[in-house]
Structure 1
Amino acid sequence: MTDVRVSARRLRLLRRLDESPLTVVWGPAGYGKTELVESWLALRADVVACRIAAPGPATGPDAYWAAVASASASASAGGADVMVVLDLPEKGLLANIGVRLWDLQVRTPTCRFVLTTRDGSVFDDRFPSSGVSVVMPAELEYTLDEVAELLADRQASSWRAARDVWLMTGGHPALVALAENVLRIYGKDLELERERACLAVEVQVDRYVDANLLEPLPQSLRAAARTVAAVRRVTATVVTMLRVDDAEKAIAALECAGLLYRMPPSPERYHVFPDAIRRSLRRGAMREGMQPPPEVSAALARWYETVGDPVEALRHATEGQDWDLVVEVLAAHWVEITATRFGVLFRALCGLPEHVLRSRPAMLYARELAVRISSDLRPLPRSLPEVISPGADIDGQDSFDVALAPGVLRSTLMRWIGDYDEAVRNHAELVDLATRIESEGADQGARPDLAPVWTHLGLTSEYRGDHQRAADLFERAVIGCPRGPGDFAARQAAGQLALQQAVLGEGRRAQRWIEQESTFGSVAGWLGTTIELPAITARVIVALDRLDVAAAEQVLTTLPELTGNIENWAFVVYARAQYELMRGRPEAGLDRVRRHRAEFGKWLGPAAFARPLLDAAEMDLNTALGAGSDVLERAELVSGPLHPLVRLSTARAALLTGNTSTAAKHATELTRRRGIYTRVRLEAFLIESMVSLHAGERDAARVAWNRAVALSEDTGLARPFTTVPAEMRSTLSEFGTPPVDFGAQEWAPYPLPAPAVHLTDRELAVLHGLSRGHPVVDIAKSLFVSPNTIKTQLRGLYRKLGVHSRGDAVREARRRGLV
């Protein structure tokens, strides 16, 4: 029985059947073609269904189409809307199908016609009618969102499990349903049993392929299916090279069985397997030892190289152990392969023999980097070759191959393992060399595309906190990049510039880079998240800074789940922490920061910018929770100078705990230093204005406030003004109106500042005596008064400090900076 509820949710498909009086639903076996049509009919009670039974083997085309015409005429005789369903017609019945269906439409205008087929040859005949709607195989596949909705409806899993199912099944409808049934067995234990559940799904997929797709075939075709699965694009030429007899006939049989489907000519005709089906066939081939011989793989690799498919050339060259071709393909196409098929690149690099790697340092560093991207468990080799000095007499392409490429890969490898100081060791030389190569190429009329080089050098500087140097390198990547396969690096550079400027508080500059980033093409493959993440995170911060929390929340829904391969993790965590702060949920932000700090500890070394960025975020969240005194105690334990972000958080905590002298000291340190981030400088001016106003120094308050207002006008940075209590903000606005629309929301991310304590000279003297541990009698003697007088003054001290004992009085006085 058709599950109408499941199909009805996929409205994007159901709507396709309303588009035209003639619809072709095309896809392999198990793609839910019939279910789609039946679901549409179940939802349209006003439409009469006319299902044409599949003809017998002896039925000829003329007799079949005459029967279709007769049934259509009978069904439409009553004047009702009719849906005529032609389900999986035989291959021989597809000849002249366009003309035949057009003729039927003319004869029975009240009829809709839906043709479901797994045979791509239906498109060999041109349809005269321009109103034909074709539902392609890729459209029938479940999207990730649809898999998540399906599993959520069945209470089967989380978003992570939905992604697992989508990746394992490729969205193949029959396999998605099968996986959903498997996951339901695990119930609430699914997250704990995630690995076991994935293995169970894989086993069930293999059983489905064996029983439903392979079992009906003769043995020779089963073997052919597993052999042909070695390639992604199936053509008669390739199948012949795989030593399969009668290639055309074998391809047609596999298509009829639902294992392959034909792609539109572009320019050649070829077939593909659904991804999950191909992986299953490959697993079966490996179990049965049916891998192509090395010489066949090598021949395929050479053929793919000649037809311009470097990914497949590299895949088969690796399987055929043609190491010369592997090196050749990697050297010529490493940008494209890295962006689209990291798995193929990884296997090729790990397969290269040691003697090949020793003569090619770039390949060696690329392998070590690929290994660590896949898993951090493997230690670095004890000795890695030093990069040849860029000052050597090397020119032309040799400069890139011998010095620049291995140098950049070495720097990237050191950055990946968290050794930022080592990563920047040869940066100046690498920048000089890249500049020379770029200049020489431009002089010769062939400027090389060094966007990936500039981007990786910029990332290393950025993660180390050298923002100006990083910005210069990122700009070179964006400005000098020709649009083409490698422009993903320039897109990442533009996104990183947007993110950098957003974090530093330059909202308008960040917005310009966000717009620049959006002009580049989309990125497919595993690198998509890495490339797009910086700009997405920048949009969150920019929206928060202009107090558009709703927009920030919407963008946050597009942020992916953090994994160990996301170097921008700290910026993502920072953005989420700021969002939680604005929503009044600091405890949620604090939990997130602490959880991810433990997870990404390798990138939190002493030289990492992520450390002060998240230190400051954690301090602000604690201050919002009313733990400002703990923040001050933590700041006192820091050895060496405080990072500007940490100093700002310390000043804020001091202000909110009533320690105005400490707040003023830190804020002044920030406003008087050159080169301080705009965000930090603006917030420091606000703290200075609040401290001065509280002390009755209106002129000083006016100067600091107006400098903050001017910075806000220049940058569009509005959020810092929410840290000023509403009553105090109203008073300070008499000096100058900030360009901020607070709306109806009364933003208050932090508690109100504790009132300042004003002590007399005698009370301060008593307090200092207590802090030194002196008893009341000794304090009285030193001040030439009686012990009773000191006790009276102590009661006044207790009242002003809000405490009830001498120990509490000393602790509170130290927290407020009074002693």
Structure 2
Amino acid sequence: MPELVRSDIDVTDPSAVRAVLATGDIVDIVEMVDLMWYRLPGDYSVELLAALRRFSEDELLSRPRLAVAGMYAHQICFGESDATMQALLEKLVVLGSQYRAVLATTEDLYEVIASGAAAIIIPRLRGRLSESKEVGDFVASRIERMSSSGALGWGNESSRYRPGSVDVQRGLTATLMGDFRTAVRLYTRAYAQAGPPPFEHFAGANAASNLAMLAAIQGQHRLAAEWIKKSTSTADVPQPIEYLIGVGRLIATAMVAIDLLDQAAATKALQLVGAASTGIELWPFVASTHAAFHLAFGTPHRGLVLLEEAAFAHGHDLWSSTIADGILRRAHLDLLIAVGEGHRVVSALKDVPVPLRLRVPLATAYLSAGRYSRALRIAADGLRRMTLSGRDAADLRVISAVAQVALGRTDAARSSYQMLVESGVFDHRVDLIARLPQQDGERLIEALGIQSSSHVRLRFASAPVTLVELTGKESEVLSALARGHTPMQIAANTNTSLNTVRTHVKGIYRKLGASSRAEALAIAASQELITSCV
């Protein structure tokens, strides 16, 4: 049975709210959580925590929306790393299946919406994204069946329904899973469902903020600007909650500034965003934006250290990362190329299907190594994909133009470049040419007669890359040499003539620029062509 609630609590009166928190029972406080949403932990975090201490752990954990409100209040007062909050979160995770059982049987729409949003959040906070999605889909279907229209409007105390809250949480789960199209659809719906301040606008503000972030990350600058404006115009968010709701907008602002090479504006925005090593759920986007900053402004070594620090703080493997459509892995590979370790990028992506998001760093690695034909093939293949983001498409067109110039195909290069000019991308991406290797950037500018303008800033940040590519037989012989085998042993073990093995060894030495076995093995190890040597 749904809990009976009072109808005489004036949640717009701070003294009335504090009075209920000081003396009210748990039903009164659940009532205020339902009505006030983020404003209760945001404006009354100290008082809310004091009130919750009057109740047993079982009473709190049996009301997930109250427990989550307490978690937000605790985070505001003590930080996300506080041991008490971590213990509460662990218990919420354990009880998640019980919450889902309640959602399946209750006929209380308030409970389905408020506790449903909490049930979506809880597994996500522990990285269980598939579980979070399943819960979100279930909650959405329950809401659709229980509500007359399948979508909840606002007005007449509808803040209890937290308009847009379920969709914005489902959108965040889709965002972290890398399903950006679904995320955009859910955020857009959440924004449309949201109502006016002081209690019904939180999901709309959050949705607009995250839409701005996704648009900026994908290179949709006009849309990013529109959603930044909409997010900023949504007023009356409690200051302690403002960061939680608006960090997506800050990330978008930073990315827009980075693309314009506006270091001052980017620095200011990233100072507000904060470090990616904190407990914020959007930390992969925070980390990738910091990486983009250090790439654009010539400090990739620092960017690599910070990215690895963030990954370590979250127990995350950068090499195999797929979170948020591989955004962290992409940032990692971009930074490796910038510090001259593009051979590690090629090694990591060799002989495996290359995700669409990683076509740019792979093509860039070959471009930086002077392998223009290979870079052009990768760029051309990527540009044929219909799902390519605007950002990646612009990057691949520049790579294509550079490679075509180097291969003597000036007319084709001019066509690629002209498509970028006509699209207006240089109005927002003044970094495109600036990040090229110096020789390639200068050659492109000279060959195409590009005039000095706001979109050509000759920073030329990318470092040259040395790539060594061996044939299959050469790789086999090199691995045997690393295991301590002599050419004669290799010939016997592979049923190959000694002269053939010696020919392979000479080819290996030539490609590595080595004059001895020891030198060849040392260079091969540094190029990650072998995993160990003796």
- Bucket of the pairwise TM-score, normalised by the shorter protein: 0.7 to 0.9
Secondary structure, in 3 states, of the residue corresponding to 1:651?
helix
One-letter code aligned to 2:137: A
Secondary structure, in 3 states, of the residue corresponding to 1:601?
coil
Q: 1:748 aligns with which of 460, 467, 471?
A: 460
How much does 1:410 deviate?
Answer: 0.5
Q: How does 1:369-388 map to 2 (within 5 A)?
A: 375-378=85-88, 379-380=90-91, 382-384=94-96, 385-387=98-100
Q: Aligned partners of 2:234 and 2:424: how far apart in 1?
A: 30
2:193 is the alignment partner of 1:480: yes
Which residue of structure 2 aligns with residue 325 of structure 1? 28
How much does 1:387 deviate?
Answer: 2.7
How much does 1:425 deviate?
Answer: 0.9
How much does 1:532 deviate?
Answer: 3.0
Q: Which has the larger radius of gyration?
A: 1
Question: Contact 2:367/2:403 (CA < 8 Å) preserved in 1?
Answer: yes
**CA displacement 1:308-351 (0-9 Å, x = unmatched):** 45665555445436233223333332343133223434444554
Which residue of structure 2 aligns with residue 491 of structure 1? 205
Q: 1:466 to 1:364 in 2, by over 3 A?
A: same
Q: Aligned partners of 1:560 and 1:676: how far apart in 2?
A: 29
**CA displacement 1:280-312 (0-9 Å, x = unmatched):** xxxxxxxxxxxxxxxxxxxxxx9x965545665
TM-score (norm 2): 0.76
2:351 is the alignment partner of 1:674: no
Which residue of structure 1 aligns with residue 246 of structure 2? 532
Q: 1:431 aligns with which of 137, 140, 161?
A: 140
Q: Aligned partners of 2:526 and 2:377: how far apart in 1?
A: 16
One-letter code aligned to 1:421: S
Kindly report the root-mean-square deviation, in angstroms, between the aligned alpha carbons of the 2 structures.
Answer: 4.6
Structure 1: segments with no counterpart, 5+ residues: 1-301, 758-762
Which residue of structure 2 aligns with residue 411 of structure 1? 120
Q: 1:515 aligns with which of 208, 229, 249?
A: 229
Q: Aligned partners of 2:477 and 2:47: how far apart in 1?
A: 72
2:297 is the alignment partner of 1:583: yes
Q: Aligned partners of 1:621 and 1:422: how far apart in 2?
A: 32
Question: Contact 2:194/2:202 (CA < 8 Å) preserved in 1?
Answer: no
2:389 is the alignment partner of 1:686: no
Which residue of structure 1 aligns with residue 183 of structure 2? 470
More helix by share: 2
Larger RCO (CA within 8 A; separation ≥ 6): 2
**CA displacement 1:753-805 (0-9 Å, x = unmatched):** 55999xxxxx98996896576849979x97999x8xx69x95x9866754434
Question: Contact 1:463/1:608 (CA < 8 Å) preserved in 2?
Answer: no
Q: 1:748 to 1:783 in 2, by over 3 A?
A: same
How much does 1:453 deviate?
Answer: 3.0
Greater alpha carbon shift after TM alignment, 606-615 vs 666-675: 606-615
Question: Contact 1:658/1:816 (CA < 8 Å) preserved in 2?
Answer: no
**CA displacement 1:141-172 (0-9 Å, x = unmatched):** xxxxxxxxxxxxxxxxxxxxxxxxxxxxxxxx
Q: 1:808 to 1:770 in 2, by over 3 A?
A: farther
Q: 1:576 to 1:525 in 2, by over 3 A?
A: same
**CA displacement 1:40-78 (0-9 Å, x = unmatched):** xxxxxxxxxxxxxxxxxxxxxxxxxxxxxxxxxxxxxxx
Q: 1:735 to 1:756 in 2, by over 3 A?
A: farther
Q: 1:700 to 1:411 in 2, by over 3 A?
A: same
Q: 1:361 to 1:814 in 2, by over 3 A?
A: closer
Question: Contact 2:319/2:329 (CA < 8 Å) preserved in 1?
Answer: no
Which residue of structure 1 aligns with residue 47 of structure 2? 344
Structure 2: segments with no counterpart, 5+ residues: 1-5, 530-534
Q: Aligned partners of 2:240 and 2:289: how far apart in 1?
A: 23
Q: 1:721 to 1:710 in 2, by over 3 A?
A: farther
Identity of aligned residues (%): 24
Q: How does 1:106-121 map to 2 (within 5 A)?
A: none
Question: Contact 1:451/1:480 (CA < 8 Å) preserved in 2?
Answer: yes
TM-score (norm 1): 0.52
How much does 1:541 deviate?
Answer: 0.8
One-letter code aligned to 1:671: L
Q: 1:687 to 1:614 in 2, by over 3 A?
A: same
Which residue of structure 2 aligns with residue 261 of structure 1? none
**CA displacement 1:415-473 (0-9 Å, x = unmatched):** 22222111111333433455664836779986765133332222222122111111112
Q: Aligned partners of 1:765 and 1:330: how far apart in 2?
A: 65
One-letter code aligned to 1:678: G
Q: 1:472 to 1:348 in 2, by over 3 A?
A: farther
More strand by share: 1
Secondary structure, in 3 states, of the residue corresponding to 2:149?
helix
Q: Aligned partners of 1:604 and 1:625: how far apart in 2?
A: 17
Q: How does 1:143-158 map to 2 (within 5 A)?
A: none
Q: How does 1:521-670 map to 2 (within 5 A)?
A: 521-560=235-274, 564-601=278-315, 609=323, 612-636=326-350, 641-660=353-372, 663-664=375-376, 666-670=378-382
Q: 1:456 to 1:816 in 2, by over 3 A?
A: closer
